[in-house]
Chain A
Amino acid sequence: MIRVQSQPFEVGEEQRLLLDGRRDIGAVVSFTGLVRDFNERPDVQGLSLEHYPGMTESSLAGIVAEAEQRWPLQAVNVVHRVGHLQLGDPIVLVMIASQHRRAAFDACDFIMDYLKTRAPFWKKEHTASGDYWVAERHTDLQAARRWEAS
């Protein structure tokens, strides 16, 4: 399931829904990204996330489909927020269920790497000294490239 929404999400509730009625799942791995108070500048007060409706969802669906081809997964849940977010707010959730843990760990890592470098979201950070658009990170591109070699 893929959702792009402005409302917050609750990880425990997402996991409960994912596992509801399932007896075949052996492992759940989830990653939650949060708004932190430092990034390119030290005094981040919040951020705004813009997306490209339609393309964002189809891009996420493509990334999830590729993960499902690479690993045997039983359920994938990706939630990404847009709009204004405050410090400590959850931004993104990737939750993977599989029979064995390795597939879930790897698929979660893969989806985050591809999401950060391919899904059309843009962050604008608000600081005491003004707002700025976040620049792409070389390390994120490198991380995504790992999956192409293997």
Chain B
Amino acid sequence: MTLTHLNANGEARMVDVADKPESRREAKATGAIHMHPATLQRLVEGQMPKGDVLATARIAAIQGAKRTHELIPLCHALPLSKVEVDFALDDARSCVHVTAQCRLNGRTGVEMEALTAVSVACLTLYDMCKAVDKDMVIDSIQLEQKSGGASGNYYRTTPIVTGQGGSGEVSLGTLSSAGEPCVRVKCLAELRERLGVGEINVPFQRMASTDIGGLKAALKDMDSRFAGLDEGRTLCAVNQVMAGDATPLTADDEVAFFPPVTGG
């Protein structure tokens, strides 16, 4: 592995791309800015002192992408053919997710442009909202995928494996104290993303009955998001065997809730 931004003496240099073939280059980056629920609410209702927050952040992100070469020393100036910026407001996690996609037909990749667009969008969101909330946190700015060029395609491989933190997973953590009997609950796939909950431990003492029905009631009692368990068809497994509402539970059982399967 060599770093093309260093010359033989280890000094920084701009890579000469004149002889590289042109190809279609795309990159997608994401990031998030977390804020107080009240701040997000004001943002949704358009009650920020500086005006339309998202429209401003979108324009800022596009401008940022176009000016990446002015900020990052060894970046080339690129005639981007597309910069697309999307915002997703997430009530459950009280944050705004930012996604930026850049494209061009050219000789160098557009990852830095996509990452810059996300960064500038987040900074602009901060600026637009800081009058009402200075605790906001910007995080998870990352490249999701890129295509084209000699280094080939890249996809961030969020290990899509249950229990290892899938995309957008939020763990409510261990609510029970050590040693207290509880069941370990996992939400998988679409259900995990819809509820915003990956894993949670539920103490037995919170359950009126020690079965799946009792567990569901306890979950809804602990967190209103679990009302979503009743939306659509939700399946359930206890210790990795399919189960129903009447299936009894014992300490340390692993319970998984998930949507109908769609493999093959």
Q: Which residues of A contact B (CB under 8 A)?
A: 6, 33, 46, 48-55, 58, 80, 82-84, 86, 91-92, 112, 115-124, 133-136
Contacts and interface: CB of A to CB of B under 8 A. Distances in A.
B233 A136 contact: yes
Interface string B229-264: 000010001001100000000000000101111111
Contacts, number: 92
A58 B242 CA distance: 12
A123 B237 contact: no
B160 interface: yes
8 contacts: A48-B160, A50-B161, A120-B237, A121-B261, A121-B263, A122-B258, A133-B259, A134-B262
A122 B263 contact: yes
A41 to B, nearest CB: 15
Interface of B: 153, 155, 157, 159-163, 166, 188-190, 193, 233, 237, 240-241, 256, 258-264
B263 A119 contact: yes
Nearest to A137: B262
Contacts of A122: 188-190, 258-259, 261-263
Nearest to A136: B260
A82 B160 contact: yes
A115 B164 CA distance: 24
Contacts of B233: 136
B256 A52 contact: yes
A50 B264 contact: no
Nearest to A60: B263
A52 B258 contact: yes
A145 B155 CA distance: 37
Given A52-B188, A53-B161, A136 B261 contact: yes
Given A50-B162, A83-B157, A133 B264 contact: no
A136 B262 contact: yes
Contacts of A50: 160-162, 166, 188-189
A49 B167 CA distance: 12
Contacts of B189: 50, 122, 124, 133
A91 B155 CA distance: 17
Identify the interface centre among A6, A52, A86: most chain B CB within 10 Å of its CB: A52
B98 to A, nearest CB: 14
A86 B258 CA distance: 25
A43 B250 CA distance: 46
B82 to A, nearest CB: 11
B59 to A, nearest CB: 21
A63 B262 CA distance: 16
A4 to B, nearest CB: 10
